[in-house]
Chain A
């Protein structure tokens, strides 16, 4: 079970996410917050696995709030601003949803966010397979292309 919290100053945005999550039985709502300070208080008292975060909020922006968290949960940013995506990924968010977003896009974000947890265990096995060196050639990335170089 994944517990989530919505932080957004617009109530209709909350309702959209709640509606989507009703279709996903493994998600359970823990609370609604309408600004970052409410959310801070809430996080002091509860543990959360997943956070839906709006960026443009009163007093403290979504990212500034995120920076204050010492042990942040998984974050999915929901915003109408497309220009902050890069900054978001620097802060280790899982996905960035541009309002308005469809249910399909939402599911994709959820799967990506929750799956990465389990994928982490399987990745080392995959990587050992790939590290067997191929001595005859190697690939070089440059000019936006991959070049195969033979010995």
Chain B
């Protein structure tokens, strides 16, 4: 509730200023409020309240975008000039006022929704040139007030209704845009979920575990613990935005340990990391290159497979390096789904704060990732 109020405090300030202004203005008899006109009063209250509140609410935005603020102020002045001119001229349905108000309305719309306005600019302007032309023709050229008053209502509807249509369709487009952003986001989350769990790894590990329990091996309990740690981590921590680097390293270690029990051949795996692990990081980033190293390296080689991992931290930066050898025929399968997902997620999570380097030389694959956490 308090954060909500804080976020929209501009409207509260706006209301206060509005009340004070109304009080002062009516005190000096600049305005007169007729309490019987409920609808007009409500509408003008909402309009003037928003008019005062919105600039306060978007103050920081307006400060940053000087040209927009200048345009808005100019429009406001133009609007006032038109209104004052209309009040002074004492002509029924002053044509200048009509043309001016439509112009102000359209330019206001083009400022707050420029791309949308541009898209339909030709149609909108064409429509208004015709409608206003017709209006001016009837009102000024024929110069017969009686025949004008006959069509007055239709003309006013023709002139105002496009605003409503424009506004509603703009709202619809905004809503659609929000929807697509949401679905994109959930797709990215789904991709994360999918990339987390490599089912074959789990089933192969379960198969090994099955074998160990059938043999009543002493290794079985340890495997159960490691596997449940890993599953807990992927299920629960994968949902978090950030996890501690220490947990992430523990996860990688479990993964390596579980892999080690699978193989008949000897595999040389080293994992060096600095001990300063007081860092927060998005979960399950490093597991992807590690998984790839196993998939394309260790699993494809019959002997002398190695994986060397280095993780260094210094001054807010995390340097992750992984190097492995691989079989020759795997050489051109380097950008898989996992790696693309990783790149996508890094783009979303650490925009301009990460750097991926991939180096493939002979039978050696080097992957390095730098992340700026601060």
Are B300 and A34 neighbours in the complex by a CB distance under 8 Å? no
Please indicate the chain A residues that have their CB under 8 angstroms from the CB of B199 in the complex: 80
Are A12 and B265 neighbours in the complex by a CB distance under 8 Å? no
* B200 closest partner in A (C-beta): A80
* A34 closest partner in B (C-beta): B264
Are B301 and A15 neighbours in the complex by a CB distance under 8 Å? no
Measured as residues with beta carbon below 8 angstroms from the partner, the interface class of chain A is 20 to 34
* A11 closest partner in B (C-beta): B264
Chain A CB within 8 A of B316 CB:
no
Expressed in whole angstroms, the Cα–Cα distance for A137 and B305 within the complex equals 66
Please indicate the chain A residues that have their CB under 8 angstroms from the CB of B221 in the complex: none
Expressed in whole angstroms, the Cα–Cα distance for A37 and B208 within the complex equals 23
Cβ of A117 to closest chain B Cβ, rounded Å:
28
- A13-B207 in contact given A34-B264, A58-B327 (Cβ < 8 Å): yes
- A13-B211 in contact given A34-B264, A34-B265 (Cβ < 8 Å): yes
Max count, chain B CB within 10 A of own CB: residue among A10, A37, A56? A10
Which residue of B214, B263, B265, B301 is within 8 Å of A19 (Cβ)?
B214
Please indicate the chain B residues that have their CB under 8 angstroms from the CB of A34 in the complex: 264-265, 302
Chain B CB within 8 A of A108 CB:
no
Report B247-267 CB contacts with A as 1/0, cut-off 8 Å. 000000000000001111100
Chain B CB within 8 A of A49 CB:
no
Cβ of B204 to closest chain A Cβ, rounded Å:
5
Interface residues on chain B, number (Cβ under 8 Å) = 24
Expressed in whole angstroms, the Cα–Cα distance for A19 and B211 within the complex equals 9
Expressed in whole angstroms, the Cα–Cα distance for A120 and B223 within the complex equals 45
Inter-chain residue pair count (beta carbon < 8 A): 67
* B261 closest partner in A (C-beta): A12
Expressed in whole angstroms, the Cα–Cα distance for A37 and B300 within the complex equals 12
Chain A CB within 8 A of B144 CB:
no
Are B302 and A100 neighbours in the complex by a CB distance under 8 Å? no
Which residue of A37, A57, A100 is within 8 Å of B207 (Cβ)?
A100
Are B211 and A16 neighbours in the complex by a CB distance under 8 Å? yes
* A61 closest partner in B (C-beta): B300
Chain B CB within 8 A of A35 CB:
yes
- A15-B211 in contact given A10-B264, A80-B204, A100-B206 (Cβ < 8 Å): yes
Please indicate the chain B residues that have their CB under 8 angstroms from the CB of A81 in the complex: 200
Chain B CB within 8 A of A105 CB:
no
Cβ of B293 to closest chain A Cβ, rounded Å:
14
Cβ of A64 to closest chain B Cβ, rounded Å:
11
Are B208 and A19 neighbours in the complex by a CB distance under 8 Å? no
Are A80 and B299 neighbours in the complex by a CB distance under 8 Å? no
Expressed in whole angstroms, the Cα–Cα distance for A99 and B299 within the complex equals 17
Cβ of B259 to closest chain A Cβ, rounded Å:
10
Which residue of B210, B301, B329 is within 8 Å of A16 (Cβ)?
B210
Report A129-148 CB contacts with B as 1/0, cut-off 8 Å. 00000000000000000000
Expressed in whole angstroms, the Cα–Cα distance for A72 and B111 within the complex equals 75
Please indicate the chain B residues that have their CB under 8 angstroms from the CB of A100 in the complex: 203, 206-207, 209-211
Report B226-262 CB contacts with A as 1/0, cut-off 8 Å. 0000000000000000000000000000000000011
Are B207 and A80 neighbours in the complex by a CB distance under 8 Å? yes
Chain B CB within 8 A of A28 CB:
no
Expressed in whole angstroms, the Cα–Cα distance for A59 and B330 within the complex equals 9
Expressed in whole angstroms, the Cα–Cα distance for A15 and B214 within the complex equals 10
* A38 closest partner in B (C-beta): B302
Expressed in whole angstroms, the Cα–Cα distance for A79 and B190 within the complex equals 26
Max count, chain B CB within 10 A of own CB: residue among A16, A35, A57, A58? A58
Are A59 and B207 neighbours in the complex by a CB distance under 8 Å? no
Are A12 and B212 neighbours in the complex by a CB distance under 8 Å? yes
Which residue of B263, B301, B302, B327 is within 8 Å of A10 (Cβ)?
B263
Expressed in whole angstroms, the Cα–Cα distance for A19 and B299 within the complex equals 25
Q: What would 13 A/B residue contacts be, using CB atoms closer than 8 Å?
A: A10-B204, A12-B208, A12-B261, A13-B211, A16-B207, A16-B211, A34-B264, A34-B302, A35-B302, A58-B327, A59-B327, A98-B203, A100-B203
**Which residues of A line the B interface, CB within 8 A?**
9-13, 15-16, 19, 34-35, 37, 56-59, 80-81, 98-100
**Knowing that A12-B207, A100-B203 are A-B contacts, what are 7 other residue pairs whose CB atoms are under 8 Å apart, sorted by A's residue number?**
A9-B264, A10-B208, A12-B208, A19-B214, A34-B302, A58-B299, A58-B300
